[in-house]
């Protein structure tokens, strides 16, 4: 996280190009500090209703950001670095996040809480997230076995899950079949082939095609995929692909539910051994 000078000590009008920052600020009770949001922001719904839309995820029009008169612009990931650079060139301070795991989500919450002088609320929110994670882990521990899970973030090319998604799968009682790719910094490093997926024999395929509807029929039409006998389920991208509260509070319970359904759908005669 690298702020650009001059950096405000107590920003009052924050332009949020990333959806997870919006949700955190609302939960901290600092929604009055949010001056504008990305058009991709879904949570919380009241933000979509009451805040100006100032950008996409990887594109923006500077005049829309300037129009809300921000004293700080917040962005996420390498895709938004060029947008922040453009804002800096226009004289706007920026703050860049790049959290890629659950620990990073907690750190992001604390950083935003400190930014808006809501440290106590930030600690309470992090404690709530820890309790949520423990509940998920406890429920997962009660499952009789752990299925192999392939998380499909995109279909053409095929892209497997990113760091926090892989951690959520493991937390919820599954084995991420591409956990070895999840820490890659760029999406292109997480491209996998159909043959690689087939070789890892997933028992559950979770589809979350970023920005479009998951189509199970397209998955099953791929050579060899129907023969896997895998269960297929969709998790909306807004619920899991932004590394913030939604991923842990909305996405993770859906992952656990899909894993549980996969486990319970196996008859005693064809259940894999405990692992």
CATH class, domain 141-264, is alpha beta
Q: Is the pTM of this model over 0.75?
A: yes
- Structural domain boundaries of the chain? 14-98, 141-264
Task: Pick the closest to residue 240 from 113, 102, 134, 135 (CA basis).
Answer: 102
Using 70 as the pLDDT threshold, list the residues of the chain that sit under it. 1-5, 267-275
What pLDDT is recorded for position 7? 79
Answer whether 14-98 and 141-264 agree in fold.
Answer: yes
Q: What is the pLDDT of residues 49-69, one digit of tens each?
A: 999 999 988 889 999 999 999
What pLDDT is recorded for position 213? 93
Q: What angle do CA 59, 106, 247 make, to 5 degrees?
A: 60
What pLDDT is recorded for position 274? 47
CA 257 to chain centre: 18
What pLDDT is recorded for position 271? 53
CATH class, domain 14-98, is alpha beta
What pLDDT is recorded for position 275? 46
130/84 Cα distance (integer angstroms): 31
């Amino acid at each position: 996280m690298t702020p650009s000078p001059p950096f405000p000590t107590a920003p009052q009008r924050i332009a949020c190009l990333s959806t997870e920052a919006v949700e955190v600020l609302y939960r901290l009770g600092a929604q009055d500090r949010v001056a504008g949001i990305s058009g991709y922001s879904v949570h919380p719904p009241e933000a979509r209703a009451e805040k100006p839309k100032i950008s996409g995820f990887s594109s923006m029009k500077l005049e829309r950001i300037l129009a809300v008169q921000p004293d700080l612009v917040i962005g996420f990931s390498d895709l938004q670095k060029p947008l922040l650079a453009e804002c800096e060139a226009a004289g706007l301070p920026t703050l860049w996040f790049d959290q890629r795991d659950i620990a990073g989500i907690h750190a992001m919450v604390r950083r935003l809480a400190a930014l808006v002088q809501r440290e106590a609320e930030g600690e309470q929110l992090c404690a709530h997230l820890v309790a949520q994670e423990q509940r998920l882990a406890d429920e997962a521990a009660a499952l009789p076995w752990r299925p192999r899970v392939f998380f499909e973030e995109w279909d053409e090319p095929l892209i497997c899950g990113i760091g926090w998604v892989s951690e959520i799968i493991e937390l919820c009682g599954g084995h991420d079949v591409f956990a070895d790719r999840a820490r890659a910094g760029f999406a292109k490093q997480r491209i996998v082939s159909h043959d690689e997926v087939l070789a890892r024999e997933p028992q559950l395929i979770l589809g979350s095609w970023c920005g479009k509807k998951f189509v199970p029929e397209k998955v099953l039409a791929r050579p060899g995929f129907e023969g896997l006998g895998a269960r297929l389920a969709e998790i909306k991208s807004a619920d899991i692909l932004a590394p913030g509260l939604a991923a842990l509070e909305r996405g993770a319970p859906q992952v656990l539910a899909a894993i549980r359904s996969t486990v319970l759908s196996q008859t005693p005669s064809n259940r894999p051994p405990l692992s």
